[in-house]
Amino acid sequence: MRSFLSMLLLILTLAANVGLAQDNAMTIYCGECRHPNRNPEDYANHAFNQVYGPGAWMSFEQADDFFVVNSKGLKVYVDIDFIFLGVGVEGLRLPFWPENMLQITLALPNGNIVKMVRSIFLTPLPVPADAYDRDHSKWNFLPSSNGRKRSQDTRSEDEGWCGARSEKGDDSDQLSC
């Protein structure tokens, strides 16, 4: 009974800390960022520019994780980490030397987790970043959160961060949470 209660108290404390960390993540605005499910690179580039380059203003502490929101209120969770060269010993790889690269992890509104890399000596990066617009087919294999194949022309992926459908119809990018 006592161990059960200890475990419960521990879980409650950890849950509070996790919730606290998520709530402390700041939200920054990106007016030029397009739909996050179709153009996640916009968010990676915008996030990168806040930390490096002539427009940088966020401290590394602030840049660890945060949200980027576009003009339609669509939010992307961003986590930025340095990439280190690893030294491997018996399958265990330890970080050894910085690679001048950042790994930017994006949690998209449709539930996809996308990891991108950016070189730290290249700034500023373009927003919107149209690099992927030339080949929409490479995005079509991305399943949406409900398992359907994504398509460039359908608006079915215009779901908000909460995954809830707007009451204003399928053409809406509005968050309903």
Partner 1 sequence: MKGLIATALLLAGIAAYLAVTNTAPPNHNAKSPPPIVDTATLPAADAADDGTEIVLGLRVRKDRNCTVELKDYVTPYGDMFSAWSCTPHSQQPPHKYSNYDDATLEVMAWSDAEAASLLGKRLIERDTRKSYELLVRAAALDSDFRHLAWLADQAYGIVSIDGEPHMGNLSQQYELASVSHALGDLSGRSDYFRQALVDAGADEKQLAGLDQQVSEVLRRIREIQSAVSGEVTIGGQDNA
CA distance 76 to 110: 10
Q: With contact defined as beta carbons under 8 Å apart, do 96 and 84 qualify?
A: yes
Among 64, 79, 116, 156, binds partner 1 (CB under 8 A): 116
Query: By C-beta, is 14 or 154 nearer to partner 1?
Result: 14
Question: Which residues, numbered 156-175, are part of the site for partner 1 (CB under 8 A)?
Answer: 166, 168, 172-175
The yes or no reply on residue 126 touching partner 1 (CB under 8 A) is yes
CA distance 175 to 161: 7
Query: By C-beta, is 13 or 154 nearer to partner 1?
Result: 13
The yes or no reply on residue 87 touching partner 1 (CB under 8 A) is no
Closest to 49 measured CA to CA, from 133, 127, 107, 131: 127
CA distance 105 to 27: 16
Question: Which residues, numbered 44-83, are part of the site for partner 1 (CB under 8 A)?
Answer: 44, 50, 54-59, 61-62, 67, 69, 71-73, 83
Query: By C-beta, is 60 or 153 nearer to partner 1?
Result: 60
The yes or no reply on residue 135 touching partner 1 (CB under 8 A) is yes
The yes or no reply on residue 91 touching partner 1 (CB under 8 A) is no
The yes or no reply on residue 16 touching partner 1 (CB under 8 A) is yes
Among 129, 150, 157, 159, binds partner 1 (CB under 8 A): 129
Q: Is the dihedral of CA 69, 47, 77, 37 positive or negative?
A: positive
CA distance 141 to 129: 20
